[in-house]
Amino acid sequence: MTDHAGGPPPLAVEATGLVKHFTSGKKTTKAVDGVDLTIPHGSVFGLLGPNGAGKTTVVRMLATLLRPDGGTARVLGHDVVHDADAVRGAVGLTGQYASVDEDLTGTENLLMLARLYGFRGRAATQRVANLLEAFSLTDAGSRQVKTYSGGMRRRIDLAASLVLSPRVLFLDEPTTGLDPRSRNQVWDIVRVLVEDGATVLLTTQYLEEADQLADRIGVIDHGRLIAEGTSTELKRSVGQGAVDLRLADATQRAEAAAVVHRVLGTEPTLPTDPYALNARVPDDGAHLVAQVLPALGEAGIAVPEFSLGQPSLDEVFLTLTGEPLPADETNDGAAVEEEVAR
């Protein structure tokens, strides 16, 4: 696709100065405050932010579900306000909650969508069969969706958003609440989609997810994009190194964190693994690293694994926003849902 003969194809997503307000009573909140985005074709862009940062609102504006109050945005060269129908015909959206009908079977859900999108007869049934196979749901296709596990529901929801093979896919926290195995399955699906040429904008509450999937990551806080870059670039922006520890006894983690904080002078982060502990090494603190293990030994804390590497995305997030990313983030679009309902 080109804007003019011989010219380069448009970016998959391009936004400049996006603004969105929500009003409740006499109070007006600026949910998105001047966000700029540039997402090339065939890439994954991860959008990270604390609860209420504006991630879902950005996605809904780009998907034409909300009208921006300021700024401009184009998806595949189409303006999201003035050419909304063209945008809708080229994108897919998977929200934080399943959008399929739980009383229908997986096959019935996909077949209904296929027919709505213009597939007829054998073409519709073949498209549905292909999607069920691609998402490892063939055996479950004849069952009602309400009997599906959490991972299966997310997969059928993803399949529903791909009936029309969208060129741009918006995934709003697609793996929230999934077990590690189901989450890895969704990650594999995203990788295959990108290999086939799709562009993905992913919002997530999982730092590891952004690290694994995203070519570039944007950090949004209080409606503003406060940092953007590759995972490596963001990690380098907060320090030259990080200490990664694995403890022999998970009950000693709080004590170990206090020791590491005393030695390095930085606040350790606590990953979901109860035996793990990470801490950023300050730029002028390389000489302090050698003191960490002796100090832990003196405190009677056994450390079977110790490594020095880059800061984690947890450290990046804590440094940029002043708070850790919540372990279980809720929908930052409560006001958005209210707006859509109206």
Q: HSE (CB half, 13 Å, CA atoms) of 276? A: 12
What pLDDT, on the 0 to 100 scale, is given for residue 329?
41
What pLDDT, on the 0 to 100 scale, is given for residue 326?
60
Helices and strands in the chain, H and E counts: 12, 13
Walking along the chain (342 residues) 10 residues at a time, the average pLDDT comes out as 53 96 90 96 91 90 96 96 94 80 94 92 94 91 93 88 89 83 85 91 87 93 92 77 91 96 91 89 83 95 89 75 58 41 34
- What gap in Å lies between CA 215 and CA 41, rounded to an integer? 11
- What gap in Å lies between CA 152 and CA 189, rounded to an integer? 13
Q: Which residues of the chain form CATH 3.40.50.300?
A: 13-234
What pLDDT, on the 0 to 100 scale, is given for residue 97?
67
What pLDDT, on the 0 to 100 scale, is given for residue 339?
39
- What gap in Å lies between CA 19 and CA 38, rounded to an integer? 16
- For domain 13-234, give the CATH number: 3.40.50.300
What pLDDT, on the 0 to 100 scale, is given for residue 336?
41
What pLDDT, on the 0 to 100 scale, is given for residue 139?
95
What pLDDT, on the 0 to 100 scale, is given for residue 341?
33
Q: Which residues of the chain form CATH 3.30.70.100?
A: 239-310
Q: Are 208 and 214 in contact (CB under 8 A)?
A: no
What pLDDT, on the 0 to 100 scale, is given for residue 195?
92
3-class state of residue 201 by DSSP: strand
What pLDDT, on the 0 to 100 scale, is given for residue 342?
36
**123-161 in b/e burial notation, b at 16+ Cβ within 10 A?**
ebeebbeebbebbebeebbeeebeebeebbbbbbbbbbb
DSSP for 250-271, please give it: GGGHHHHHHHHHHHH-S--B--
What pLDDT, on the 0 to 100 scale, is given for residue 250?
94
What pLDDT, on the 0 to 100 scale, is given for residue 71?
97
- What gap in Å lies between CA 255 and CA 297, rounded to an integer? 12
DSSP for 303-317, please give it: -SEEEEEPPPHHHHH
What pLDDT, on the 0 to 100 scale, is given for residue 239?
64
- What gap in Å lies between CA 189 and CA 158, rounded to an integer? 9
What pLDDT, on the 0 to 100 scale, is given for residue 4?
47
The CATH class of 239-310 is: alpha beta
